[in-house]
Each structure stands twice: as structure tokens, then as C-alpha cells.
């Protein structure tokens, strides 16, 4: 990546994204954040420049900078993605840590955060705008939709499908071949042995509906 990056969001995900880009020796131009108390502050010498709708900085995207959205709230992330596509005609870049393993035979969309020590095995498919935390394993032929978040240390076994907007907690194990429905939530440490319906919340070992 030749251009520097503007990171939307300066919270925990913003700090993770900064570390990821620095691991790849990509220069971060600055942060944009709607919390006015953060404006003018610095994170590891990188300044929070202003709000996410600051036109003076937005006009740089697609010309002199790239963009990455590091905001956990799915609705906010979707709004910012739509804004970048509509007004700047660009998609957010991927942030893939230098210590992540992503097989050449896998497929990946745009705007994904792939943290340190993530493993994406051959023929896995990852959509766009997902947040995949450290030490996650996405095994062969697993399919991840868009706007999914997968917590630290989760295991997504072969043939699993995770649909749009689902949240997978830290340490979750998804056994091979199951489907996690759209906007479902799985509590940390759960072992999921059967399909999870859309919008359902499950927890436990074996995971059961809450």
C-alpha cells in the first residue's frame, strides 16, 4: 500500500488498526472520531484530527490517502462504508497484521480487520468489513459474510457459514458444517454444535438459546 491511511475511530479498534498498519510499515495519516474530547489528542504520535464527516480530510480519501473503518458498532460502520462509496467512490482497505496467515487460496473482500496471529486456511471465504480478532482460526471452506465480528481465540471449523452481522464471542468453537444466521450472537466460550437461527442469542457448552 503506497498511500497513507486515515482511520475512522480512535477507540480500541482504532488502536488495533494502527498497530496492524505499523506492522506493515504503512503510514497512518491520522484518526477521525466524532468524540470532540479526543480531537487534537495523539495515539502513539498519531493525531485525532476531527470528526468523521470533516470534509477537509474526507476529500483526501481516494487521492492522497486510503480509509479504514475501525468502529465496532455495525450500524455506524455501515453508514461510513456507504458514505465512502457514495461520496468518495472508494472502499475501505483491508488491515491485515504482518503476523497473520492468510492462504493464497482464500478469498477476501474489502475493509476487513485481521489481527495478529489470525489463521485463514485455504479456500476459506471472507466477505467485507469484518472484525477478526487475534488468534482466530478460520478453517478450510468456512464462509464469513459481511460486518461479522469474531472474538479473540475463536475457532471457525471447516465448512462453517457465518452470515451477515453475526457476533461470535471470544473462545467460541463452531463445529464443522453449521450455519450461524444473520445478526445472531454467540456468547464467549460457547461450543456450538448445531445451526443458530438469525437474530438468536446462544451461550454454553453445548450452546443453547438464551
Q: What is the pLDDT at residue 2?
A: 81
Using CA atoms, how far apart are residues 12 and 30, in angstroms rounded to an integer? 15
For residue 55, what pLDDT is reported? 93
In the chain, ranges of CATH 2.160.10.10 domains: 96-203
Residue pair 21/36 in contact by the 8 Å Cβ criterion: no
Calpha distance 136→85 (Å, rounded) = 29
9-54 pLDDT, tens per residue? 999 999 999 999 999 999 999 999 999 999 999 999 999 999 999 9
User: Given this model, what pLDDT does residue 170 score?
Assistant: 98
The CATH superfamily label for domain 5-93 reads NAD(P)-binding Rossmann-like Domain (3.40.50.720)
Q: Class assignment of domain 96-203?
A: mainly beta
Low-confidence ranges of the chain (pLDDT < 70): none
Which residues are CB-contacts of 121 (< 8 A; sequence separation ≥ 6)?
103, 106, 137, 138, 139, 140, 142
Angle at 124 between CA 164 and CA 151, to 5 degrees: 55
What pLDDT does 13 receive? 98
Across all residues in the chain, what is the average pLDDT?
97
Q: How far apart are CA 140 and CA 33, in angstroms?
A: 37
Numbered ranges of CATH 3.40.50.720 in the chain: 5-93
| pTM for the full predicted model | 0.96
Alpha-carbon gap, residue 47 to 183, rounded angstroms? 34
Amino acid at each position: 500500500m503506497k498511500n497513507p491511511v486515515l482511520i475512522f475511530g480512535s477507540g480500541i479498534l482504532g488502536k488495533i488498526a494502527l498497530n496492524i498498519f505499523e506492522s506493515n510499515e504503512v503510514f497512518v495519516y491520522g484518526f477521525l472520531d466524532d468524540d470532540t474530547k479526543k480531537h487534537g489528542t495523539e495515539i502513539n504520535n498519531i493525531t485525532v484530527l476531527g470528526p468523521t464527516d470533516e470534509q477537509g480530510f474526507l476529500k483526501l480519501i481516494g487521492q492522497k490517502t486510503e480509509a479504514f473503518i475501525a468502529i465496532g458498532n455495525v450500524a455506524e460502520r455501515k453508514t461510513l462504508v456507504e458514505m465512502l462509496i457514495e461520496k468518495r467512490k472508494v472502499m475501505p482497505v483491508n488491515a491485515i497484521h504482518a503476523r497473520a496467515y492468510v492462504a493464497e487460496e482464500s478469498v477476501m473482500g474489502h475493509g476487513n480487520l485481521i489481527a495478529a496471529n489470525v489463521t485463514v486456511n485455504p479456500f476459506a471465504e471472507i466477505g467485507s468489513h469484518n472484525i477478526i480478532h487475534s488468534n482466530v482460526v478460520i478453517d478450510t471452506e468456512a464462509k464469513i459474510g459481511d460486518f461479522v465480528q469474531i472474538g479473540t481465540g475463536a475457532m471457525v471449523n471447516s465448512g462453517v457459514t457465518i452470515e451477515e452481522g453475526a457476533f461470535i464471542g471470544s473462545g467460541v468453537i463452531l463445529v464443522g458444517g453449521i450455519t450461524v444466521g444473520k445478526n445472531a450472537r454467540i456468547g464467549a466460550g460457547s461450543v456450538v454444535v448445531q445451526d443458530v437461527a438469525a437474530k438468536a442469542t446462544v451461550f454454553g457448552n453445548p450452546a443453547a438459546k438464551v
